[in-house]
């Protein structure tokens, strides 16, 4: 014969109720003036990107355009969210000549 033992109710904190099965990934590009814009894709180091953060195909059609390269990458992790920031540096026309 089994006895029913009443156990005390256990209260869980927010951290214990959090599901570890879901992780969000956020990617941002940070322009030289400090503006930060979310993008839906990742970038590689030294990628040449346009104003919208999309990689440009090399060779470039001209050296007279606004383009940036990925200078550094910073990743931070909070509970359930991994944020990656791609720091961009603007390339001048002389630097773009190497990619035309």
Q: List the domain boundaries for the chain.
A: 23-99
Radius of gyration (C-alpha) of the chain in whole angstroms: 23
Q: How far apart are CA 66 and CA 79, in angstroms?
A: 37
pLDDT at 85: 97
pLDDT at 10: 52
Burial class (CB in 10 A: 0-12, 13-18, 19+), 68: buried
Tens place of pLDDT per residue across the chain (100 aa): 555 566 555 544 444 444 456 889 999 999 999 999 999 999 999 899 999 999 999 899 999 999 999 999 999 999 889 999 999 999 999 999 998 8
pLDDT at 46: 86
Q: Which residue has the tokens 């961009």?
A: 88
pLDDT at 22: 85
pLDDT at 76: 96
pTM summary value: 0.74
pLDDT at 16: 47
DSSP label at 33?
A: T
């Amino acid at each position: 014969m089994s006895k029913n033992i009443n156990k005390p109710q256990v209260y869980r904190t927010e951290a214990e109720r959090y599901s570890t099965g879901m992780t969000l990934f956020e990617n941002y590009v940070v322009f030289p003036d400090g503006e930060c814009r979310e993008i839906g894709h990742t970038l590689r180091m030294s990628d040449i990107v346009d104003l919208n953060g999309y990689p440009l195909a090399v060779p470039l059609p001209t050296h007279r355009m606004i383009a940036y390269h990925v200078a550094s990458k910073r990743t931070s992790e909070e509970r359930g969210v991994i944020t990656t920031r791609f720091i961009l540096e603007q390339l001048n026309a002389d630097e773009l000549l190497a990619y035309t």
